[in-house]
Amino acid sequence: MKKFLSAFIALIIVLSLSGAVFAADKPVIGVLIYKYDDTYISTVRNAIEKYGADVLDITMQDGKGDQATQNDQVDVFIAKGVDALVVNMVDAAAAQGVVDKAKDAGIPVVFFNREPAADVLKSYDKAIFIGTNAADAGIMQGELIAKIWGDGSAYDLNKDGVIQYLMFQGEPDNPEAIARTDYSVKTAEELGLKMEPANEIIVCNWDTACAQSSMEPIINKGTNVEFIIANNDGMAEGVINALVADGKNTGEEGDPVIPVVGVDATDAAIELITKGKMAATVKQDGDAMGKAIVEITLNVAAGKDPLDGTDYKFDDSGVAVRIPYVPFDIESVGK
């Protein structure tokens, strides 16, 4: 019995040590997030942790929306000798500095969501981007606007055949925000709608509270608004909060409705669509993006081709992998 117990204990120790070895063999990854409290980015962050838990040793840092803070975090990860960096830039225009540091250290860098310029990515053969095609979100918003508006009879308040709209933009110089803003209106016009801004573009840095506080004085002024387009669901949610407080978009039959469209298909937005408070959104699949980040980072950390053993493909740039958008409205709920 004693011999059996000793053998059993020895086996447990060996297995424990083996586990420690396997854990130590996991690539060490430094993940830099532009801001933890961004709702969509939180879905990507959770997916990275979910898919990477068993295969990567992950440490995440919150840039808190400050590029200088993120630069310091990059320096710390490089000093620690991580096997790869995964970076959601605070400011995509600052990506060259990150690439140069990673290149000097020989560390692969995978950018996601906020896209650096192609020439920045191509300046280092171990730098790639995982994200979406920025124009597609705007195009799909434009298509949704046309679908929702129809013949205009339900929403054309002044019966002039023109859509008086508000545009809530994420950031003034963000390429993704600019593309969503431009292509949503351009696509709606190409589909035969007449679009007219009811106000100058409202920049709210993707923030719900800013969108709500910006919408309230527009309501109080009595500005004729027949459609609201937001670069993300967070701002759409803020706008809807203001509308509901004014007795609109309550989801109750007979109450007035101003259609609101966003981007991301967050849980909050899906709930608003289900309740009839929000017209539609464009799904940006955070789970799919997180999965792609883990699979590709696992490859680059091991010195393999980024797409080895995956179904992903580079776009025409040769340095970017695109995760597709999907339009989402009441017909999509539950599917």
Q: C-alpha 265: how far from its chain's center?
A: 10
Q: State how far the Cα of 170 lies from the Cα of 235, in Å rounded to an integer.
A: 8
What are the C-alpha distances in Å from 158 to residues 107, 240, 249? Answer: 59, 21, 18
Where does the pLDDT of residue 335 fall: very low under 50, low under 70, confident under 90, or very high at 90 and above?
confident
Alpha-carbon distance of 167 to 281, in angstroms, equals 14
Cross-strand bridge partners of residue 169: 203
H/E stretch holding 18: helix 2-25
Mean pLDDT of the chain: 93
For residues 212 and 239, is the Cβ–Cβ distance under 8 A? yes
Give the model confidence (pLDDT) of 106-148 as tens digits.
999 999 999 999 999 999 999 999 999 989 999 999 999 999 9
| CB contact set of 11 (below 8 Å; sequence gap of 6+) | none
Say if CB 284 and CB 234 are below 8 A apart.
no
What is the Cα gyration radius of the chain? 23
**At 334, is the pLDDT very low, low, confident or very high (cuts 50, 70, 90)?**
confident
* Model pLDDT for residues 296-328, shown as the tens digit of each residue: 999 999 999 999 999 999 999 999 999 999 999
Confidence of residue 11 (pLDDT cuts 50, 70, 90): very low
Interval 2-14 mean pLDDT? 42
Residue 139 CB neighbour total at 10 angstroms? 22
Token readout for 170 is: 């994420």
CB burial of residue 117 (10 Å; 0-12, 13-18, 19+):
middle
- This prediction has a pTM of 0.85
Q: CB atoms < 10 A from the CB of 23, how many?
A: 10
Domains, the chain, with CATH or none: 2-131+285-325 (3.40.50.2300), 135-284 (3.40.50.2300)
